Structure 1
């Protein structure tokens, strides 16, 4: 008897065309999930459709008389579009899915003589952050949950659409549907996180945003700021909006202390942020007139929620050095010098020409760190700018002016004027020495003549003394 019942069941299954398939569906929490259930249309029969969830009973049902039934808990979120029935599509849509919606669903369709049953496993993915807006240096964890967890699945993380490489490692505990990234909060963690779950050819994704509060500009330590000698420059130090640091401070770090930098003396033209600035989160400082010796590392800091946040940056100063050959051949060599060239990969010299109206135009362009030119040529007169690049990114520039009249470099007339002043001073000093020597010689000759006649000298002194005595007696009378 049992064998006969088994054979009867198999024959009934084959005659009715019943089918059973299992489909994996991933949906992120809060999104819409579509549970597929499709079969070949069979007109003109009215289908009987029922969706069930394992251990939860009926989710949605449509009888042949057209009446529908919804689960009380899903009335507002579940629907099965009638417009697709004619195409044999009886897929179930669940809006704003929650983690408790995950599980196995069964679609049962009786369409004429055709009976279709399909099993759909709905897995809800969700990414969460322990603290969405941590302070720089805090412990932070980003979790990836899948309900129910697909055993044997692989999980990977991306940050701002790039694969994330952890510094402290990824902690996995798939038995509890958890995959966690644990890191110290830094600017590199800021952005959009994506948890990607791969399972049986299907891919599930979940997203989370993380913002680290602290010094947001510069965004990372050892950022470089470029400035030309004689120009003004701003050293940025901007905290996250809403963060008001207490006891803000600026320091210039001594270069000899590599592992534990020690503070040095700030430049004379250094100007910190004003105490009563309208934007207290902006603690940027400025140098009114940069000198080449001002290049180096600087550090800004401030106390936020009991911890001191710091940011190091480097000021790179650029200048143009001119050299003239020992033999005056009417030429000059310009060299573009930077206090730090670690980022520079290319130098470019641009000749800038101004017309009578002050309109600027770009002349010749030459490559290289040094530039040699003839100062006698009118074509070389005007302004030359040295542009320095990292690959194709312009880092900064510094300009140099060649005198229009003399055709000499800006530093050569200065040198000539210094030499002329020195020559004039030396000539004047020599003239004074000659006059003193001449006077000394005359005095010597006069004394020499007087010493030849000592008696005459005695008479002269006696006469002079008698005259002075008579004048004093007349005054007394």
Structure 2
């Protein structure tokens, strides 16, 4: 006969001895309370309490207290099992185990010695939730398990993922949406026991899937997220762009910038009209078996801007329209008027809830900043439009600008005419001064002619006669 059977048999031969079995089901990591209460209240205080556990064919002491009050515990730092002594006065000798582990499951024995001996057998079953494998890469396979120690697994098990019930525990292609807290629920004696486990999925953590949409206004700066899981740095990262999921690649914007690392997010410093489309961030990393695994994430960039339409002439109306390159997910629009006061105080006034806003006659007070707010339950974005008087207003300020231009043009014309008239006057005065003295002009002309004749005669007398070298012509 084994030592275990001997001990159990001796416990049962005492007069009035009771042996009752009970099952306790707890989740791993919780506090297990194994009841040992004297329902008959036949025991008297002081009493001796012995808690032991069956390990193979041997009973090992877990916790005990002698009638003298001395307590004995296994050498463990810190001890996890104890009986709250203040409860002894209520004939409650239950054993509390903090931080229950999967290995704590098994048979426990409670022996209480007083006027009579009471023996109770408690079977502790511990539920553990786990994954095989526990850490996976996007696109690989894993299985959620709900194990019970000791004994076979329960058939009625419900699974929850991040608080939502799911119908499957085997994942053939893991995604980031599968990461998080998983719970297996087991009904037992009218209550539900729940064990939890965390699933870590290596890959691109943000965005979680290919349904991400990023909104940006023309001229603004926007970030396209591509964040890998903690501690994971891919070997290579590539960004590309397509106008849709089926069209060929298109060039990235000129201000597109990104850096290789766990955060491979990209930035477009100044969004331009035409930058919209599908952007793909792809990285290659090693799997658990050393094989190369490619993970990628697609996201759509939606560009928002304000379209302005007005009459070509006259004081016609101006229509402002909030235009998005893809407005399928947008459910609401609202136009806001932004004005500024002293010390840059800002006042925002709601004007109209519509995609388009019409100003019947633009005046000086309409110039300035207009904002279109668009969104849905998950998205809220703004696009700003500055209404300028020179481009769209036919009111008082525009008339003042036209008058200024007209005055400057007429002034320049008068200045040119003045210069022409002044030059004509100078020519007229010169001519008039010459005509005032005709006799003097004749005398001066005659004197000049006579002087030229005398000079020519002297030059002729000084020349030698041809054929007579010794003679000089006089």
TM beyond 0.5: yes
Q: State the distance in 2 between where 1:117 and 1:380 align.
A: 91
Alignment pair present for 1:363 and 2:349: yes
Contact 2:363-2:393 within 8 A present in 1 as well: no
Structure whose CA Rg is larger: 2
Q: In the superposition, relative to structure 1, how do residues 216 and 74 fare at CA in structure 2: closer, same or farther (>3 Å)? A: closer
Aligned partners of 2:186 and 2:194 also within 8 Å: yes
SS of 2:157's equivalent? strand
Task: Find out whether 1:298 has 2:283 as its counterpart.
Answer: no
Whole-Å separation in 1 of the counterparts to 2:72 and 2:236: 66
Alpha carbons of structure 1 residues 352 and 35: separation in structure 2 relative to 1, 3 Å? same
Structure 2 CA distance for aligned equivalents of residues 37 and 153 of structure 1: 29
Paired residue secondary structure (1:100): helix
Distance in 2 separating the partners of 1:44 and 1:116: 12
Q: Against the structure 1 CA distance between its residues 388 and 52, is the aligned structure 2 distance closer, same or farther, given a 3 Å change threshold? A: same
C-alpha contact 1:214 1:240 (8 A) present in aligned 2: yes
Distance 2:104 2:273 in 1: 66
Q: Contact 1:269/1:290 (CA < 8 Å) preserved in 2?
A: no
Aligned to 2:388, which of 403, 412, 427? Answer: 403
In structure 1, what is the equivalent of residue 211 of structure 2?
A: 222
- Match in the other structure for 1:200: 189
TM-score (structure 2 length as normaliser): 0.69
Report the 3-state secondary structure (helix = DSSP H, G, I; strand = E; otherwise coil) of the residue aligned with 2:202.
Answer: coil
The alpha carbon displacement at 1:271 in A equals 2.1
- How far apart in 2 are the matches of 1:398 and 1:106? 73
Whether 1:266 aligns to 2:242 is no
Query: Counterpart of 1:439?
Result: none
Match of 2:86 among 73, 83, 86: 83
Shift of 1:89: 1.2
Cα deviations across residues 90-120 of structure 1 (Å, max 9, x unaligned)?
011234433333123343434446x655442
My pick for the range that moved more, 238-247 or 197-206, is 238-247
Q: Structure 2 unaligned runs (5+)?
A: 1-11, 287-291, 403-474
1:310 deviation in Å?
A: 1.1
User: Aligned pair count?
Assistant: 377
- Note the aligned Cα RMSD (angstroms): 3.6
Match of residue 37 from structure 1: 36
Residue 389 (str. 1) matches residue 378 (str. 2): no
Secondary structure in structure 2 of the residue aligned to 1:234: strand
Shift of 1:270: 4.5
8 Å contact 2:157–2:185 — kept in the other structure?
yes
Q: 1:158 aligned to 2:160?
A: yes
Distance 1:326 1:198 in 2: 76
Change (3 A) 1:94 1:342: same
Query: Is 1:319–1:337's contact at 8 Å kept on the other side of the alignment?
Result: yes
Whether contact under 8 Å (2:234, 2:283) holds in the other structure is yes
Deviation at 1:62, TM superposition (A): 4.0
Taking the aligned partners of 2:18 and 2:234, their CA distance within structure 1 comes to 70
Once residues 78 and 196 of structure 2 are traced to their aligned partners in structure 1, the CA distance between those partners, rounded to angstroms, is 27
> TM-score normalised to the size of structure 1?
0.69
Structure 1 residue ranges without an equivalent (≥5)? 1-11, 171-180, 418-477
State how far apart, in whole Å, the 1-side matches of 2:255 and 2:187 are: 55
Report Cα offsets for 1:108-157 as digits up to 9, x if no partner: 434446x6554422111222233443222222223221112466552122
1:20 Cα deviation from its structure 2 partner? 3.8
- List per-residue Cα deviations over 1:147-170 (Å, max 9, x = no partner): 1246655212222222235xxx33
Quote the Cα distance in structure 2 between the aligned partners of 1:269 and 1:19.
82
337-346 vs 65-74, greater mean Cα deviation: 65-74
Secondary structure of the residue aligned to 2:146 is: strand
